[in-house]
Structure 1
Amino acid sequence: MLDLFIAPFTEFAFMQRALAGALLLSLSACPVGVFLMLRRMSLAGDAMSHAILPGAAAGFLIYGLEIVPMTIGGLIAGALVATGAGAVARLTVQKEDASMAAFYLVSLSIGVVMVSLRGSSVDLMHVLFGTVLALNDAALILIGIVTAVTLISIALYWRALVAECLDPLFLRSVSKLGGVVHFLFLGLVVLNLVAGFQALGTLLSVGLMILPAASARFWVNSVFAMCLLAVGIGFAASLSGLLLSYHASLPSGPAIILSAGAAYLLSLLAGPRGLLRPLLPGRHHRTA
């Protein structure tokens, strides 16, 4: 039993770095995922994860697979797409989800073409799906900085973030923070997606953000409890995914997201607000 669960992390430094990176990402991205879900913007998060690809690809074209230039490029691309989609939604008749979809489809295509100009199919797979087992010290420092910024921002603007998610019109009527909090939130989404793409790639980084948050929704009602439970589910998915990857020789990033998907399926079926709870004898299901 010890060899099964502990030995991979005590014997191999790359497994230790992978676990540290995945846990830090869970601590940072899962609370952001809760707010994203409550704002009914889960698919927008998926769009944003694709939107960072051209910037990361630009860094790759110039410097190769270096974490700092790819991160800076991803941040710039993500900020441009988020700002552009928000501006289109505010200045035209098009809704934000449609403008976000348009921007992300163009961004994804441009990014794939840019990576293909210089790199091989292996490089493209690295950018799209990440390599959590190859995290280096620079990547861990970056993820740690993003985690610290995210947690501090959430702590400072907690009430405004909750109000903006649950009743944005009320927040705008009583405070001038509505627009500020909206763009702060989008900035946190971009930051966490950029931090996650090195480990999970641009296509899967949103999975660790959304799946634990969606799972927590079936168990608890309060936003704070949802954030805590989502982080716990993210931790469990990271640990089990890495162990599954190690013992079954599976790709590490997809294994983590599959573990998070299994937690979502379990929550969907067995959670207090899940599908099977109303069928249990002596149980009364209340929807909210």
Structure 2
Amino acid sequence: MEMVQQALLAPFVEFAFMRRALLGTFLICVSACPVGVFLMLRRMSLAGDAMAHAILPGAAAGFALFGLKLVPMTLGGLIAGGVVALGAGAVSRFTILREDAAMAAFYLISLAAGVVMVSARGSGLDLLHILFGTVLALDDQALALIGLIAAVTSTTVLLLWRGLVAECLDPLYLRSVSKLGPALHFAFLVLLVLNLIAGFQALGTLLCVGLMILPAAAARFWADRAASLCLTAIAFGLAASLAGLLLSYHAALPSGPAIILSAGSLYLGSLLLGPRGLRLSLHASPRRRAI
């Protein structure tokens, strides 16, 4: 028992960088996992991945001008994410192209442009840092930014809860009884970009969406109400963060991928064992499965 406690607690007791990494990922989970639930309910999970890549050229521009500094890269990512979100929305609104196709086009252009900008200005190590993050290198400034985004997101979700749920589940009804539908959609996109920026600080542009989507997808196999989904997703995100950091410490693995692999393991376990996963499908009647 003492050996187990030592294995679980020693890394966080002995090393400040492990404590900062744990705090940063916990804050990201509290903030991003509910956003991931709303993405899933909107059937926009892949749009979240596209937006994660879309912030790359802005972060790369900040890096090219100022180096690996938090504020310029964060502001650049916010601007790039906003431009892509608004641009994809405008293209889908004024042309025959649907929003998912417009988002895919913008994110591919953004990803390629960002990689070219970082490669031209920095080294391969800098590119890896921006693409995959360095969760073990979170400093006080990054933690303050992540904490601020978590506070803003949690407050906004609580204030707009009923509208966000209605806009996810029945947007046509919301439009028929209220004119707030477009405003809620825009507010949600702002929350999405903010949380991708927070995740970017720890996990980079390629993996930051992992802590947003995987816990939410795993929670879907255990819960069916919006509030329960959000709480379950947060719990799964926290568990994946803790397990991933411990795995990276004891097995000498990259911390970011270890966290996402832990979240992926929870997803696969939920798929197999969750009451709303494969068990439900296997025990359902043929007629129910068809429905």
One fold, TM greater than 0.5? yes
Pairs within 5 Å for 1:16-95: 16-95=19-98
Deviation track 1:194-239 (CA, whole Å, cap 9, x = no partner) reads 1111100000000000000000001111000000000000000000
| Identity across the alignment (%) | 69
The size of the alignment, in residue pairs, is 286
2:206 corresponds, among 203, 210, 213, to 203
Corresponding position: 1:141 with 2:144: yes
Using the TM superposition, name which of 154-163 and 267-276 deviates more: 267-276
Is 2:12 aligned against 1:13? Answer: no
Q: Which residue of 2 aligns with 1:254?
A: 257
Task: Report the CA distance between 1:276 and its aligned residue.
Answer: 3.0
Match of 1:3 in 2: 6
Structure 2 residue 182 is the aligned partner of structure 1 residue 161: no
Q: 1:118 to 1:278 in 2, by over 3 A?
A: closer
Q: Deviations over 1:3-57 (max 9, x none)?
A: 1100000100000000000000000000000000000000000000000000000
- Which of 119, 122, 126 pairs up with 2:122? 119
Alpha-carbon offset, residue 91 of structure 1 = 1.0
TM-score, normalised by the number of residues in structure 1: 0.97
Deviations 1:113-171 (A, max 9, x none): 00001110000000000000000000000000000010011011000000000111111
Q: Is the 8 A contact 1:269 1:277 kept in 2?
A: no
AA paired with 1:117?
A
Q: Contact between 1:57 and 1:115, CA under 8 Å: does it hold in 2?
A: yes
Instruction: Measure the CA separation in 2 of the matches of 1:67 and 1:230.
Output: 28
Deviation at 1:181, TM superposition (A): 0.3
For residues 128-277 of structure 1, what are the structure 2 equivalents within 5 Å? 128-277=131-280
On the 8 A contact 1:51/1:77 being kept in 2, the answer is yes
**Alpha-carbon distance in 2 for matches of 1:279, 1:48:** 35
Inter-partner Cα distance in structure 2 for 1:10 and 1:196: 24
Structure-2 change in CA distance of 1:271 and 1:284 (3 Å): farther
CA distance in 1: counterparts of 2:285 and 2:141, whole angstroms: 51
- Output the CA distance in 1 between the equivalents of 2:251 and 2:72: 33
Following the alignment from structure 2 to structure 1, what is the Cα–Cα distance between the partners of residues 154 and 201? 20
SS of residue matched to 2:57: helix
Q: What SS is found at the alignment partner of 2:277?
A: coil
Q: Does the CA-based 8 Å contact 1:270-1:277 persist in structure 2? A: no
Q: Normalized against structure 2, the TM-score is what?
A: 0.96
1:76-100 per-residue CA deviation (whole Å, 9 max, x = no partner) reads: 0000000000111111111000000
Question: Unmatched 5+ residue regions in structure 2?
Answer: none
CA RMSD of aligned residues (A): 1.4
SS across alignment from 1:114: helix
- Cα separation, 2, equivalents of 1:188 and 1:198: 16
For residue 21 of structure 1, what is the amino acid of its counterpart? G
Q: Which amino acid aligns with 1:250?
A: L
Offset, 1:60: 0.3
1: CA distance between counterparts of 2:59 and 2:75? 8
Counterpart amino acid of 1:206? V
Distance 1:249 1:284 in 2: 47
Matched AA of 2:266: A
CA distance in structure 2 between the aligned counterparts of 1:279 and 1:82, rounded to whole angstroms: 40
